[in-house]
Amino acid sequence: MTASNIQLDERGRLKHFLSIEGLPQELLLEILSTAEGFAPVGRRPVKKVPLLRGKTIVNLFFEPSTRTRTTFELAAKRLSADVLTLNIGDSATRKGESLLDTLRNLEAMHCDMLVIRHDCSGAAHFIASHVCSEARVINAGDGRHAHPTQAMVDMFTIRRTKGDFGVLRVAIVGDIAHSRVARSDIHALKSLGAREVRVIGPRTLIPPEIETLGVRVDHDLKSGLRDVDVVIMLRLQNERMQGALLPSAREFFELYGLTEERLAVAEPGAIVLHPGPINRGVEIDSQVANGPRSVILEQVSYGIAVRMAVMSIAMSSAAKPESH
């Protein structure tokens, strides 16, 4: 009943990029180094390389998102691919049957790659297990399960500013329970050999048995941030205040909001990441967000290059030697 790893083809090359879990470390490193190659493209006069010219990439977004959607669109366009974005937001098309039907319709149009964002955990796996063998699936976020491209952006940012993962202590702060970014970041950091990974948050927002993923749990921000080199702040959704998980945003900020004063216990030179968009005064105060330790804007600028790397590596495994 456990599926074999559908992310890799029989030669171990990346086929579908669904979750960091199950991918070998070498592949993660390949994504990072390929992204280095793409990083300068956005600063050239011609912001394109012809690598995926003629390929059709479809962005299937069942959950609204301006930032992630535009990043994927730009990444595909800078690879010279043809891009189609479908925003399927309304509830009528939320049911499973439509997901499969939508998929079949897209396949009839011979799409090479699907980028999917959906509010059900496992949606990307579902699409990947029903898609035809030539197509490639990239997970742009499925429920609470995974957001692997964001994790790679975070890893790229960390490596560029802090270097080798092996000496780093990393803290992830906030609503871990509902965060696909947190889960993917944890898998990526562990795979790349981070010295220590901690999750910090109130008991109501830490999922059960998360220690089994190899992390240390802290409920106190100050003790959790001690000696830390990298702080990843997570976004707090408004719904959490309605679900008996938290009394108010104010109280969350009191306990877990990142301020200069609280950062003082971290390593000097510690950097601050956030997947965005930021809630100022809830997770993080403006002084930190705008300050020298914040690499939040760098994350945004690396977002396109990292996604270009993921898309080209995945598409690469669809290569077919010509028969002579």
Partner 1 sequence: MNLDSDEIGSLLERMAEGLTEALAGRGRVDPVVVGIHTGGVWIAERLRERLGLPAPLGSLSIAFYRDDFSRIGMHPSVKPSNLPFDIDGRHVILVDDILYTGRTVRAALNEIFDYGRPASVTLAVLVDRSQRDLPIRADVVGITLALAPGEHIKLNGPDPLRLITHKAA
Partner 2 sequence: MELLIANGHVIDPAKGFDEVTDLYISAGKIAGIGNAPKGFKPERIIDASHRVVSPGFVDLSARLGGGGDEHGATIVSETLAAARAGITTLCCPPDTTPVLDIPAVAELIHRRAQQAGLAKVHCLGALTQGLGGEQLAEMYALKAIGCVGVSNAGRAVYNTEVMRRALEYAGTCGLAVVLQPEDHWLGRQGHMHEGGVSTRLGVPGIPETAETVALSRDLLLVEQTGVRTHFARLSTAKAVELLAQAQAQGLPVSADVTIHHLHLTHEAVGDFDSMCHVRPPFRTQADRKALRGAVARGVIAAICSDHHPHDVDAKTAPFDATEPGVSALELLLPLILELVRGRVFDLSTAIAAITCRAAQVLGIPAGILAIGASADVCVFDPEREWTLTENTLLSAGKNSPFLGRELVGRVTHTLLDGRVVFEEEADVPASR
The alpha carbon of residue 18 and the mean position of all alpha carbons in its chain are separated, in whole angstroms, by 10
**45 is an interface residue for partner 1 by CB under 8 A:** yes
Segment interacting with partner 1, rule: CB under 8 A, options 44-52, 128-136, 175-183, 197-205: 44-52
* Sole binder of partner 2 in the list 213, 241, 249, 265 (CB under 8 A): 213
**95 is an interface residue for partner 2 by CB under 8 A:** yes
The two beta strands, 196-200 and 216-218, are parallel
Distance of closest approach, residue 206 Cβ to partner 1, in angstroms: 38
**Contact set for partner 2, span 114-143 (CB under 8 A):** 118, 120-123, 125-126, 130, 142-143
* Sole binder of partner 1 in the list 48, 77, 160, 226 (CB under 8 A): 48
Contact present, 235 and 276 (Cβ < 8 Å): yes
Contact present, 179 and 151 (Cβ < 8 Å): no
Residue with Cβ nearer partner 2 (243 or 269) = 243
Segment interacting with partner 1, rule: CB under 8 A, options 29-37, 124-132, 176-184, 247-255: 29-37
**99 is an interface residue for partner 2 by CB under 8 A:** yes
Q: Which does 322 bind (CB under 5 to 8 A by kind): partner 2, partner 1, none?
A: partner 1
Contact present, 202 and 249 (Cβ < 8 Å): no
Query: How many residues belong to the site for partner 2 (CB under 8 A)?
Result: 32
* Long-range Cβ contact pairs of 217-223 (< 8 A, separation 24 or more): 218/171, 221/173, 221/255, 221/256, 221/258, 221/262, 222/262, 222/265
In sequence order, what are the residues at sequence separation of 6 or more whose Cβ sits closer than 8 angstroms to the Cβ of residue 171?
Answer: 197, 198, 199, 200, 218, 224, 225, 228, 230, 231, 232
**1 is an interface residue for partner 2 by CB under 8 A:** yes
**45 is an interface residue for partner 2 by CB under 8 A:** no
Rounded to whole angstroms, the Cα distance separating 243 from 246 reads 7
Contact present, 56 and 168 (Cβ < 8 Å): no
**3 is an interface residue for partner 1 by CB under 8 A:** no
Radius of gyration of the chain (CA): 20
| CA dist 195 → 61, 160, 169, 225 (Å) | 35, 17, 6, 14
* Sole binder of partner 2 in the list 42, 202, 207, 276 (CB under 8 A): 207
Contact present, 225 and 262 (Cβ < 8 Å): yes
Site string for partner 1, 8-27 (x = CB under 8 A): -----x--------------
Residue with Cβ nearer partner 1 (46 or 244) = 46
The number of CA neighbours under 13 Å toward the Cβ of 191 is: 21
Q: Which does 269 bind (CB under 5 to 8 A by kind): partner 1, partner 2, none?
A: none
Query: How many residues belong to the site for partner 1 (CB under 8 A)?
Result: 27
Q: Which does 241 bind (CB under 5 to 8 A by kind): partner 1, partner 2, none?
A: none
The number of CA neighbours under 13 Å toward the Cβ of 251 is: 8
Distance of closest approach, residue 78 Cβ to partner 2, in angstroms: 30
Residue with Cβ nearer partner 2 (64 or 96) = 96
Which residue type is seen at 218? D
Residue with Cβ nearer partner 2 (239 or 260) = 239
**3 is an interface residue for partner 2 by CB under 8 A:** yes
Which residues would be at the binding site for partner 2 (CB under 8 A)? 1-3, 6, 21, 94-97, 99-100, 118, 120-123, 125-126, 130, 142-146, 180, 183, 207-210, 212-213
